[in-house]
Amino acid sequence: MAEKYGQDVEYAAEIPSDPVIEAREKALIWKQDLRIVPLCAGIYLLCYLDRSNIGNAKILNEDTHNDLLSETGMTSFQYTIALMVFLIAYALFEVPSNYFLKKLRPSRWIAFLMLSWGAATMGLGGTHTYAQVTGIRFLLGVMEAGLFPGFVYYLTFWYRNSERSMRVALILASATLAGAFGGAIAFGVGHMNGAHGLSAWRWLFIIEGAPSCASAFLVWFFLPDYPETAHWLSQEEKELAAYRLQTEGSKGSASAMSWADAKAVLCDWRLYAHYALMTVPPYAVAYVVTVAAAWSADHFNSRGLHSAMFSFIGAMGFLASAVLPADAYLHRYGCLIVAASGAFACIPPLLGWLSSNLKSTAGAGLAIALNVSFGAPGQIVGVWIYKSDEATIGYPTGHWTNAALLLFVTAGCILLRLYYSWKNKRNGGDENGKKFAY
């Protein structure tokens, strides 16, 4: 078997392209999916639930002045600052988090992050002042920052370029379930107002933070780190997994990032073109659109054009929302569904496109984290462009801004796609002769 799935490219000719080998590979991928994707989606759901519950805490029992703002003495402006502080921390700590994910093993690092953000969420239930809320929200941003870029990096240890966008989409789309669960939980918790002397918004933070803390221990033991160390894979499956990823995946045996690796990534201008495409963060999405777009991007091996198409669709949705009358509620609602679906669906192909054009394990960790970090300023902008004093006229500033940035994504994807095509035709790819992925 070692000869059949050797580590050297020269062994490729020895592997017959027949239904038996293809069946073994499909069985391996399915086995990996069952172990990895549901667990990662569940972790991200808990993460998003703990991130977004502050919105429910703000309005829970506000009619009786038992809400977050009333009991902490916060103003709406201070609340916005607390949201922004989370995003600043989120942007600053994504890169170092991916370094520790490889240095300490994915299962250990992600379990630590879960325990930490779960504890921080529960801690919000004990806050009494604006300063306490803001400080803990900053810590929450620090701990949650590494999860999503960590997952994108983590998948490069298990899947080929053409297989990652779909898995990223399935994980990312679990955030929509968090929105549904969060609202349902908040409705139920609202009836606990005053129980044991605690307001409902305090119970909300405690109840939603506890599962993350408890699940951290399960993640420590059950999240597999790398194919070569997975006890549930046979030796034959481990060798097949290693062979599949020898030219387009990260290696568990590779060393953690060095300064030379970091310098190579930081000085590569192509990556900044990818990062600029991520400045408009999606806030909601139709689950089916995201998954279908990711499947199509992988199936046709055309991630750049898929991202361009869906970002353009999102831009049109925002443009329509901006020009419609403020009282055209039904039409504006339909446009926002289109806008959100397009904005969200363009993300997984973008991330798959980036990771498919990275050649080293350490470089992938840094570049993916930087990619998501460059999107954080867009989230900070998002806090301010939807102005409360524009509620009666339909928030035109926010819609026009999102439309413009999504059109920038569309143009950037097309230009970068044309550049890669030109480079492949001109000299066969990068400086090592490797073809750029589309």
Q: Please list, residue by residue across 135-157, b when 16 or more beta carbons sit within 10 angstroms of its beta carbon and e when fewer do.
A: bbbbbbbbbbbbbbbbbbbbbbb
Over residues 144-158, the pLDDT tens digits come to 988 988 888 899 888
> What does the alpha-carbon distance between residue 356 and residue 365 come to, in Å, rounded to a whole number?
13
Distance set, CA 410 to CA 14, 30, 56, 136, 291 (Å): 42, 33, 34, 37, 19
Percent of the chain with pLDDT over 70: 76
pLDDT band at 103 (very low <50, low <70, confident <90, very high): confident
pLDDT given at position 275 = 46
Handedness of CA 417, 419, 421, 423 (dihedral sign): negative
* CATH 1.20.1250.20 domain range(s) in the chain: 14-249, 254-425
Over residues 205-250, the pLDDT tens digits come to 999 999 999 999 999 999 999 998 899 999 999 888 888 887 775 6
Tell me which of 298 and 192 has the higher pLDDT: 192
Q: Which two tokens stand for residue 350?
A: 């973008």
Give the residue from 375, 397, 376 showing the smallest Cα distance to 385.
Answer: 397
pLDDT of 354 > 70? The answer is yes
Distance set, CA 234 to CA 39, 230, 239, 340 (Å): 21, 9, 9, 43
Q: Please list, residue by residue across 370-403, b when 16 or more beta carbons sit within 10 angstroms of its beta carbon and e when fewer do.
A: bbbbbbbebbbbbeebbeeeeeeebbbebbbbbb
Task: Indicate the fold that domain 254-425 takes in CATH.
Answer: Growth Hormone; Chain: A; (1.20.1250)
Say if domain 14-249 classifies as CATH 3.40.720.10. no
pLDDT given at position 209 = 94
Over residues 27-65, the pLDDT tens digits come to 999 999 999 999 999 999 999 899 888 888 888 888 888
pLDDT given at position 11 = 38
pLDDT given at position 108 = 93
Over residues 312-350, the pLDDT tens digits come to 988 888 888 887 877 777 777 778 778 878 887 877 887
pLDDT band at 17 (very low <50, low <70, confident <90, very high): low
Mean pLDDT of 173-193: 78
Mean pLDDT of 63-87: 88
Mean pLDDT of 176-190: 77
Mean pLDDT of 378-387: 64
Amino acid in position 300: F
> What does the alpha-carbon distance between residue 192 and residue 346 come to, in Å, rounded to a whole number?
40
Give the residue from 100, 81, 205, 204 showing the smallest Cα distance to 145.
Answer: 100
Tell me which of 188 and 213 has the higher pLDDT: 213
pLDDT band at 384 (very low <50, low <70, confident <90, very high): low
Neighbours of 232 (CB within 10 A): 10
Task: Give the contacts of 91 (CB within 8 A, at least 6 positions apart).
Answer: 145, 373, 376, 377, 380
Tell me which of 280 and 423 has the higher pLDDT: 423
